[in-house]
């Protein structure tokens, strides 16, 4: 395990380093909440907006896959 107080191995030049604006966190396209074995499970769903399937199609696919387990 390395020393947490040691200097980094490579030093980046702060003048030439590009400053990118951080992208804000994206809101989920859907949220599913379920209760199993006394636990609450919350799943945030993010879909490809350029895809051809609808949220309903993907949700049905997830439910059918869950039933097969």
β-strand partners of 43? 32
Both structure tokens of 8: 């980094």
In this prediction, residues 24-39 reach a mean pLDDT of 90
Both structure tokens of 55: 């949220």
Q: Report pTM.
A: 0.39
In this prediction, residues 19-44 reach a mean pLDDT of 88
All residues at 6 or more sequence positions from 11 whose CB lies less than 8 Å from its CB, including other chains: none
Domain boundaries, the chain: 30-68
pLDDT above 90 covers a percentage of the chain that reads 23
In this predicted structure, what is the pLDDT of residue 39?
95
In this predicted structure, what is the pLDDT of residue 1?
52
Q: CB of 32 within 8 A of CB of 42?
A: yes
């Amino acid at each position: 395990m390395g020393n947490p107080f040691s200097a980094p191995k490579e030093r980046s030049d702060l003048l030439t380093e590009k400053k990118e604006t951080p992208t804000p966190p994206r809101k989920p396209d859907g949220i599913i909440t379920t209760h199993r074995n006394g636990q609450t499970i919350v799943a945030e769903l993010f879909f490809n907006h350029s895809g051809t399937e609808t949220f309903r199609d993907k949700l049905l696919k997830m439910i059918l896959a869950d039933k097969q387990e």
